[in-house]
């Protein structure tokens, strides 16, 4: 049979030869490195037989698909080890996720950190055994019988729900699992792995189902990559916004109030107010109008918008005076109503409506995570109504807006185009194609590199997702730009064109920070709680060395407060070293140290959060420095 290679060359192989044989035919070195193959665009095991005319690409460790294949096989290895060590454990699902994998187990006991160490050791033994990982196919009925005999009832449920006549099973030694694959050819290629944590998870994410135990892990091909990742996790623990939120007095959660409902403490309230005021000014600079809409809208509005058909499981509902209402999960419907409130001309467009709008979404309890995933949050939401000839310019302006803001905070960022979902969407395919092309064209005109995430658009339109990279390399989804031809049709909104006829505007949904709450969580971890001077809830703390300087310290603090700075004093009868350490623990950017020398000369000495000192400064010189830090939104501590 003839096999085509990616470079256009062809090779002749014996009928029935597999991808490993192809790799071996090309070179012994390639066969040694090979882990899987892409056959006619589909990932396959190396042992899968090839067919005449197939186009084949051999996958090695350096290919982008390789890491997921390794981690999928590592998940099976973990499940194998767990069943070796613990009796009566049932396996459920074990997918690859960003940065690793997990497996959910039905186990009557509780997995401990010590258990994870035992499982890792058993995994190493199984890996060293160099056991082949073998794929087989059988009818669904045979597979159900097989897994029933093994007591794996979750697997039989999955097979029944799949409804496929034939399923694939992967076996390694005495372990077998239902799986689509592909996998590594042998356990020996799984060398560098780490089990990370245990969490609870409901079967199939449904709170009505049994609570399972989920073990998270990760794996890499190189030891140094695993070590770098584990070190990053250690750094992430230090930066955890939930821990810093308590330490710095930013926010809290209380089960008496309800899960996923953040409460901002005084310093967190100041931080949020600063960020929101900054956002208002940035939007006003760019000709946005600030609006506000109600939290409750009649259910009929959500039917008309398509939310009931496509998003109801994420919403909360209530009833008032026998009228049904939906609590808004987003602000678009309110903004459409504002647009409809008066007749619009082509000269009025574009109309840009901005709202720091509170929204509520029904997140499952297992998905809640500090400020990163909550049930009540504020979006920096805006909707732009524009003509078709204005569309590209408006998308580019939003891309520039995002870039300006993220650069200000020191974030790197990447772009992804998310396209039409397979099932839940509204509108015609023609509208979806036009919207998708508008987003692509704008990015291409800006020279922006982007990846494509098929099927992950909103139900009303495709979108550009912009992910931030924080100080330790993690990615966070924040900004989005959605192009919508559909809601304007559903609400029959229009403008009067130059020709005197009605025309349909196009609607852009966009957020810059996204959820303000989530962004605050990301900022807290990005800066490890050490916010830049302009953003810090407490910018300056005035410290006296002895009681003699108390009056001078109060006067300095009063002058700084009068100039608009966020200042506190620590005038306690404590050693100055103790007071400095406390201020540093609270990550205060500037500490003014006032002793007799400073008081007698009418000057100040400044200790920076970094440990550097600036001694015997004229007060007005200091005010000029902090004024420039504040005015320019600088990330520096000093100038």
User: Domains of the chain by range and CATH?
Assistant: 2-60 (3.10.20.30), 66-230 (3.30.980.10), 251-526 (3.30.930.10), 540-631 (3.40.50.800)
Confidence class for position 142, pLDDT limits 50, 70, 90 = very high
Does the pLDDT of residue 498 top 80, yes or no? Answer: yes
Tokens of 515: 């959820």
Count of H helices and E strands in the chain? 20, 33
Sign of CA pseudo-dihedral 42, 48, 53, 58: positive
Confidence class for position 205, pLDDT limits 50, 70, 90 = confident
For 11-38, what is each residue's pLDDT tens digit?
A: 999 998 999 999 999 999 999 999 999 9
For 392-440, what is each residue's pLDDT tens digit?
A: 999 999 999 999 999 999 999 999 999 988 887 878 888 888 889 999 9
Tokens of 21: 């044989």
Does the pLDDT of residue 253 top 80, yes or no? Answer: yes
383 is an active site residue: yes
* Active-site residue (options: 76, 509, 526, 541): 509
What pLDDT is recorded for position 415?
A: 94
Is 4:39 a contact under the CB 8 Å cutoff?
A: no
280 is an active site residue: no
CA atoms within 13 A on the CB side of 231: 8
Is 56:4 a contact under the CB 8 Å cutoff?
A: yes
Does the pLDDT of residue 366 top 80, yes or no? Answer: no
pLDDT, mean of residues 377-400: 95
pLDDT, mean of residues 126-139: 95
* Active-site residue (options: 463, 590, 607, 609): 463
Alpha helices in 46-179, H assignment, sequence order: 66-85, 113-128, 140-150, 153-162
222 is an active site residue: no
Contacts 24+ apart (CB under 8 A), 223-231: 223/191, 223/192, 225/192, 226/192, 226/193, 226/194, 229/99, 229/194, 230/194
What pLDDT is recorded for position 394?
A: 95
Does the pLDDT of residue 374 top 80, yes or no? Answer: yes
If DSSP codes are grouped into helix, strand and coil, which group holds residue 140? helix
Determine the Cα–Cα distance for residues 19 and 15; give it in Å rounded to an integer: 12
State residue 511 phi and psi, 5-degree precision.
-130, 150
Q: Is 325 exposed, middle or buried (0-12, 13-18, 19+ CB in 10 A)?
A: buried
Question: 151: closest CA among 185, 106, 200?
Answer: 106
pLDDT, mean of residues 273-297: 96
At a CB cut-off of 8 Å and minimum separation 6, what does 150 contact?
176
Determine the Cα–Cα distance for residues 589 and 591; give it in Å rounded to an integer: 7
Least confidently predicted of 99-103, 362-366, 393-397: 362-366
Question: 185: closest CA among 136, 134, 126, 219?
Answer: 134
pLDDT, mean of residues 161-165: 92
* Active-site residue (options: 172, 213, 379, 539): 379
> Residue 104 is inside which H or E element, if any?
strand 100-106
pLDDT, mean of residues 324-340: 96
Distance of CA 457 to the CA centre of its chain: 15
Question: 92: closest CA among 42, 38, 161?
Answer: 161
Confidence class for position 158, pLDDT limits 50, 70, 90 = very high
Confidence class for position 305, pLDDT limits 50, 70, 90 = very high
At a CB cut-off of 8 Å and minimum separation 6, what does 314 contact?
329, 361, 362, 363
For 31-42, what is each residue's pLDDT tens digit?
A: 999 999 999 999
Determine the Cα–Cα distance for residues 537 and 530; give it in Å rounded to an integer: 10
Note if the bond before 182 is cis, omega within 30 degrees: yes
What pLDDT is recorded for position 98?
A: 85
* Active-site residue (options: 83, 242, 332, 360): 332
**pLDDT averaged over every residue in the chain:** 94
pLDDT, mean of residues 122-132: 96
Confidence class for position 229, pLDDT limits 50, 70, 90 = very high
The crossing angle, in degrees rounded to 10, of helices 113-128 and 66-85 is 110
At a CB cut-off of 8 Å and minimum separation 6, what does 446 contact?
396, 399
First-to-last alpha carbon distance for the chain, in angstroms, is 71
Is 184:70 a contact under the CB 8 Å cutoff?
A: yes
Is 436:417 a contact under the CB 8 Å cutoff?
A: yes
Tokens of 517: 């709450």
Question: 115: closest CA among 85, 77, 79, 92?
Answer: 85
Does the pLDDT of residue 78 top 90, yes or no? Answer: yes
What pLDDT is recorded for position 460?
A: 80
490 is an active site residue: no
Is 226:192 a contact under the CB 8 Å cutoff?
A: yes
Determine the Cα–Cα distance for residues 31 and 22; give it in Å rounded to an integer: 8
pLDDT, mean of residues 215-244: 94
What pLDDT is recorded for position 87?
A: 87
Does the pLDDT of residue 569 top 80, yes or no? Answer: yes
State residue 551 phi and psi, 5-degree precision.
-65, -40
At a CB cut-off of 8 Å and minimum separation 6, what does 478 contact?
466, 467, 468, 511, 512, 513, 514, 515, 518, 519, 522
What pLDDT is recorded for position 432?
A: 86
pLDDT, mean of residues 460-479: 89
240 is an active site residue: no
- pTM here is 0.82
Determine the Cα–Cα distance for residues 634 and 616; give it in Å rounded to an integer: 24
* Active-site residue (options: 381, 484, 517, 570): 381
Confidence class for position 471, pLDDT limits 50, 70, 90 = confident
CA angle 205-211-217, nearest 5°?
75
* Active-site residue (options: 352, 360, 373, 383): 383
pLDDT, mean of residues 90-112: 93
Determine the Cα–Cα distance for residues 544 and 499; give it in Å rounded to an integer: 73
What pLDDT is recorded for position 35?
A: 95
Distances (CA, A) of 101 to 64, 86, 110, 214: 16, 20, 20, 10
């Amino acid at each position: 049979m003839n096999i085509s290679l990616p470079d256009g060359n062809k090779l002749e192989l014996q009928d029935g030869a597999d991808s490993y044989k192809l790799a071996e035919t090309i070179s012994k070195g390639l066969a040694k490195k090979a882990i899987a193959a892409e056959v006619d665009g589909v990932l396959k095991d190396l042992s899968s037989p090839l067919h005449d005319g197939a186009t084949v690409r051999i996958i090695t460790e350096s290919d982008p698909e390789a890491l997921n294949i390794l981690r999928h096989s590592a998940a099976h290895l973990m499940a194998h080890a767990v069943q070796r060590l613990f009796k009566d454990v049932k396996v459920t699902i074990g997918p690859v996720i960003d940065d690793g994998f997990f497996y959910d187990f039905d186990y009557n006991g509780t997995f401990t950190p010590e258990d994870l160490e035992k499982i890792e050791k058993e995994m190493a033994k199984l890996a060293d055994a160099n056991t082949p990982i073998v794929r087989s196919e059988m009818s669904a009925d045979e597979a159900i019988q097989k897994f029933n005999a093994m007591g794996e009832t979750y697997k039989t449920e999955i097979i029944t729900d799949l409804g496929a006549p034939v399923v694939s099973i992967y076996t390694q030694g005495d372990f077998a699992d239902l799986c689509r694959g592909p996998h590594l050819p042998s356990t020996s290629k799984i060398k560098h792995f780490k089990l990370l944590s245990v969490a609870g998870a409901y079967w199939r994410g449904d709170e009505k189902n049994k609570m399972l135990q989920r073990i998270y892990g990760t794996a890499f091909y190189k030891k140094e990559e695993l070590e770098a990742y584990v070190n990053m996790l250690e750094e992430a623990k230090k930066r955890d916004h939930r821990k810093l939120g308590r330490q710095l007095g930013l926010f809290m959660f209380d089960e008496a109030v309800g899960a996923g409902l953040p409460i901002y403490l005084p310093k967190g309230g100041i931080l949020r107010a600063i960020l929101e005021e900054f956002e208002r000014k940035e939007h006003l600079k760019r000709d946005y109008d600030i609006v506000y809409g109600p939290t409750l809208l009649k259910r009929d509005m959500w039917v008309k918008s398509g939310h009931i058909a496509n998003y109801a499981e994420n919403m909360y509902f209530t009833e008032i005076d026998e009228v049904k209402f939906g609590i808004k999960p987003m602000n678009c419907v309110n903004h459409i109503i504002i647009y409809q409130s008066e007749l619009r001309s082509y000269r009025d467009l574009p109309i840009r409506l901005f709202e720091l709008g509170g929204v509520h979404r029904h997140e499952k309890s297992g998905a809640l995570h500090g400020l990163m995933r909550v049930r009540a949050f504020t979006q920096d939401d805006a909707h732009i109504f524009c003509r078709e000839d204005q569309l590209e310019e408006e998308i580019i302006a939003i891309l520039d807006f995002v870039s300006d803001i993220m650069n200000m905070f020191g974030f790197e960022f990447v772009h992804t185009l998310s396209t039409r979902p397979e099932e839940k969407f509204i509108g015609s395919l023609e509208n979806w194609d036009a919207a998708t092309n508008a987003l692509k064209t704008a990015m291409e005109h800006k020279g922006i590199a982007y990846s494509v995430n098929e099927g992950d658009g909103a139900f009303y339109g495709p979108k550009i997702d912009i992910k931030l990279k924080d100080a330790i390399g993690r990615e966070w989804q924040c900004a989005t730009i959605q192009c919508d031809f559909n809601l304007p049709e559903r609400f029959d909104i229009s403008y009067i064109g130059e020709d005197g006829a009605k025309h349909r505007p196009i609607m852009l949904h966009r957020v810059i920070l996204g959820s303000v709450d989530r962004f605050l969580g990301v900022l807290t971890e990005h800066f490890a709680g050490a916010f830049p001077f302009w953003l810090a809830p407490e910018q300056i703390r005035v410290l006296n060395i002895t009681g003699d300087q108390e009056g001078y310290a109060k006067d300095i603090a009063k002058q700084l407060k009068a100039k608009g700075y966020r200042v506190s004093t620590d005038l306690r009868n404590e050693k100055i070293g103790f007071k400095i350490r406390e201020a540093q623990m609270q990550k205060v950017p500037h500490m003014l140290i006032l002793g007799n020398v400073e008081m007698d000369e009418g000057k100040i000495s400044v200790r920076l959060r970094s440990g550097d000192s600036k001694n015997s400064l004229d007060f007005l010189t200091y005010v000029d420095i902090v004024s420039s830090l504040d005015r320019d939104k600088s990330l520096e501590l000093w100038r």
